[in-house]
A and B are shown apart, each in its own frame.
Chain A
């Protein structure tokens, strides 16, 4: 977690001059510097994509696609349509999680009542 702390974003005030580096968070800078730029053929090749994937794997700065989809946020892919199927997945996941919790809670709360009775689907 120490690593994550050093990479965490700190919201920054706006309005710096362009002469100074924009006072963005490290995540802001990383996603720009690593993601964009005109590709020209250098003599020494490095694959920025690898570097970026590495940072993603370390979960340092970008939400996973799955996480974002669960939150219904996928419009950077299919702008401007918002995916309703993502919302359904979210509900399904939540439903599953709630039922798992109920499995734990119900015996303590309701004694003999069987957990099956609460396995009704919200939809």
Chain B
């Protein structure tokens, strides 16, 4: 094994955790075209890695492949499946998609060098899951306020003769009224989402807000108001979901839908942890501005793993 690494393969590392833990599910295959997944030690930590064809995972090949939506989706899903299975018992830290080394030796050396940082991150996320909460404001009344005359045109109804064509002024007033109505609904939804955030942070330890999804995702008939992730102690999962059920039913959320997904591996919080703990990571450009990372604990990171959860009031 003292020879130079074989050029035919690169080593892809997906995630690290404390201890070897149980084997991975046998049907888990990792990236297409790669070898079997295996667990390798790195200091006190263990990583899940896979040999992948070097030709497909060169910088150039990756850039091309990941620029194809279908390939990107497959890679992201495969990565996610491995990370999730690996994290199933105990915390695991997801590494970025396609973290690649020329050899297992190099991979292990890099991981070992980073063990202190991984340890700090594990302190923070072990025993906790990520839950995603989205609040969408549903479109209001059915008739489109922008084309109020459109619904009348199909049949030449007599009502059209009784009601004279609206004057431009009346038309403008009606539009204004509806615009105001829409603004009010939106403001109420924003207020409701703030309420939800405060309530959830009585259970969750931290939150990350992302840019809301656009109409291409949520549909034209709704506006996403909140796209947040929360770091929630495992044992508080039921409490968290019960709280959201109560919120969903509250009058404040009339006309809104509250979507909850999870539990997720705490993808959204490993980065925040490393930022908070080391402070020396290079900024990730525009995305730091896009993602507000907030700490519900006001800087108190060293909560025992899930021990005094929800003690704040």
On A, residues with C-beta under 8 Å from B are 3-4, 6-9, 11-12, 14-46, 48-52, 54-55, 58-65, 67-68, 71-73, 75-80, 82, 87, 90-91, 94, 98, 101-102, 105-106, 109-110, 113, 117-118, 120, 122
Contacts and interface: CB of A to CB of B under 8 A. Distances in A.
Interface string B33-68: 000000000000000000000000111001100110
A15 B175 CA distance: 43
Contact of A65 (B81, B88, B176, B211): B211
Interface stretch (B113-121, B154-162, B301-309): B113-121
Given A63-B214, A72-B186, A122-B176, A46 B59 contact: yes
B190 interface: yes
Contact of A62 (B76, B168, B211, B268): B211
Contact of B292 (A45, A52, A77): A77
Q: Nearest 5 CB-CB pairs, A to B?
A: A63-B214, A76-B209, A37-B96, A32-B267, A19-B88
A32 B264 contact: yes
B261 A46 contact: no
17 contacts: A9-B213, A19-B84, A21-B84, A22-B261, A23-B261, A25-B261, A35-B267, A37-B96, A44-B62, A46-B100, A63-B214, A73-B224, A76-B209, A76-B211, A76-B290, A79-B209, A109-B166
A76 B210 contact: yes
B255 interface: no
Given A22-B261, A40-B110, A76-B210, A59 B168 contact: no
Contacts of A35: 210, 267-268, 271, 287, 291
Given A11-B259, A105-B171, 11 more contacts: A22-B262, A35-B267, A36-B268, A44-B98, A46-B100, A51-B66, A61-B217, A65-B211, A76-B211, A76-B292, A77-B290
A109 B97 contact: no
Measured as residues with beta carbon below 8 angstroms from the partner, the interface class of chain B is 35 or more
Interface in B254-307: 257, 259-265, 267-271, 274, 281-282, 284-285, 287, 289-292, 294
Nearest to B10: A44
Contacts of A37: 94-97, 99, 267, 270-271
A14 B213 contact: no
B102 to A, nearest CB: 5
B77 interface: yes
B138 interface: no
A73 B217 contact: no
A3 B130 CA distance: 29
Contacts of B186: 71-72
A24 B142 CA distance: 29
A46 B211 contact: no
B235 interface: no
Given A33-B97, A46-B59, A63-B213, A105 B87 contact: no
